[in-house]
Amino acid sequence: MSDNRLEAQTSPATLADWVADAGKRTLDLVADLSDEQLLGPRLATINPPLWEIGHLAWFMEKWVLRHAGGRAPLRADADALYDSAAVAHATRWDLPLPSRTDTLDYLRRVRECVLEVVGRGPSPTEKYFVLLSVFHEDMHGEAFLYTRQTLGYLRPALTGSGPLAPRAESDSRSESATTGGPLPGDVEIPGGTFLLGADSAEPFVFDNEKWSHPVDLRPFAIARAPVTQSQFAEFVEAGGYARRELWTPIGWRWREEADAQHPVYWKRDGGRWLRRDFDEWVPLEAHQPVIHVNWHEADAYCRWAGRRLPTEAEWEAAAATRRADLSAPKRRFPWGDRPPDATRAQLDGYCLGCCDVSERPAGDSDWGCRQMIGGVWEWTASDFGPYPGFVADPYREYSQPWFGTHKVLRGGAWPTRARLLRNTWRNFYTPDRRDVWAGFRTCALEV
């Protein structure tokens, strides 16, 4: 990517647009919720949305205004209420949280101050923390969506403009039913030395992506597309959840404790499966990726199918390299260095769901893998850990506390903001999480 395009990504005009857009998305995601819904039930996998809104304001204020700018806090109680590293998750429902009006006002005042910083021309340090706060808000936007899915709230109305927004004259969900379908088969990728991780040409990367380093890959064959709902239904109907030999000991223990018999938002309706989509039950979309399955479920499916999950190095090689040479400079996205648009990836949340796995051929990697960016996050076989020479960035709580306990996911999902992603981006969750927007693709056991 040229230096000019990298600079354009972090210009004051772009930063201002991103700060405002992230704020609009947050408001879109909570505007229709009642005061009762903004608090919600006490669950281990979600936050009270009202607390989460305040946390977004606190994070921007802490890093952009206080840490980089040296300002005094706008609220004297903000650290005691919203510091996620200090305030235990289970206590967040019991805090003396400000009202909806006061919380939104805090968010508005912080954002106005951040936009003032951007408007006068931020220093390099301020620019870094503005980007950090935008990407942090983007991640929480995805969490607001899985909170709404977990709790069965209405599908939100998400509006906006840009290359990922749907065309007014069409709807991608109905369009996919008539133009999509399956995408079977593997692509074979030869072995060689591959540079895993980000390089310093990126305008912003997280500490867990640093830095590019050589890894040796054996030849492998990876699926062209993620596992579909109809493929996963075959596993369910073949008794996959009842066959202990398909599960790791930890996975089987999870399955028993959760009494899992099928994916979390599925149910039988006579002779067919239904899937809960926010507050509605819909028939399974046969050729869309299976979603809301955890690592244990993905791993068990692979054993049943005589397959395996890719390592994150294999996943990144299939997404980022060119056929000519695994060690050549990598693509930023599977299709090249051009930013995502609606012909290449299902991102940014506007369509509120996946499309069929055969859609978006313009987004194929050079090897022919489809939808490696967008659709569903894809579980990999890899444990989340540091790359060689890891050094924590200023936001130390982002990566380091989770090394060794989480699994790596790659690629982004339909709600993920496009500005957040690149082929080297690493997501991470514990292997029992079923609420996140995750699916998987598989590899052949042997080549």
Residues composing the chain = 447
Would you place residue 292 in the very low, low, confident or very high pLDDT band (cuts 50, 70, 90)?
A: very high
CB atoms within 10 A of CB 231: 20
Strand 377-383 to 438-439 pairing: parallel
| Per-residue tokens: 94 | 């019991």
DSSP for residue 208: G
- Residue-level pLDDT at 178: 45
The angle that helices 100-119 and 124-151 make with each other, rounded to 10 degrees, is 150
Judge if 13 and 131 occupy the same domain: yes
- Residue-level pLDDT at 167: 62
| Number of domain units in the chain | 2
- The CATH number of the domain holding residue 83 is 1.20.120.450
Q: Is residue 271 part of a domain?
A: no
In single-letter form, the type of residue at position 323 comes to R
Judge if 29 and 85 occupy the same domain: yes
264-280 tens-digit pLDDT:
999 999 999 999 999 99
Q: Is residue 164 part of a domain?
A: no
DSSP for residue 304: H
Q: Is residue 182 part of a domain?
A: yes
Judge if 203 and 145 occupy the same domain: no
Judge if 146 and 177 occupy the same domain: no
- The residue range of the domain holding 141 is 3-151
Judge if 341 and 198 occupy the same domain: yes
Determine what percent of the chain is predicted with pLDDT higher than 70. Answer: 95
Helix (H) or strand (E) holding 196, with range, is strand 192-196
- The CATH number of the domain holding residue 310 is 3.90.1580.10
> What pTM did the predictor assign?
0.95
Strand blocks (E) in 253-359: 266-269, 272-277, 280-283, 307-308
Would you place residue 9 in the very low, low, confident or very high pLDDT band (cuts 50, 70, 90)?
A: low
Judge if 183 and 328 occupy the same domain: yes
Q: Is residue 160 part of a domain?
A: no
Which of 93, 118, 151 is the endpoint of a domain?
A: 151
**Alpha-carbon gap, residue 436 to 429, rounded angstroms:** 9
Judge if 179 and 144 occupy the same domain: no
Judge if 32 and 128 occupy the same domain: yes
Judge if 147 and 192 occupy the same domain: no
Judge if 197 and 78 occupy the same domain: no
Q: Measured at the alpha carbon of residue 232, what is the angle toward residues 435 and 306, in degrees to the nearest 5?
A: 115
**Alpha-carbon gap, residue 203 to 212, rounded angstroms:** 15
Judge if 107 and 31 occupy the same domain: yes
Cα 276 to Cα 54, 69, 281: the distances in Å are 29, 45, 4
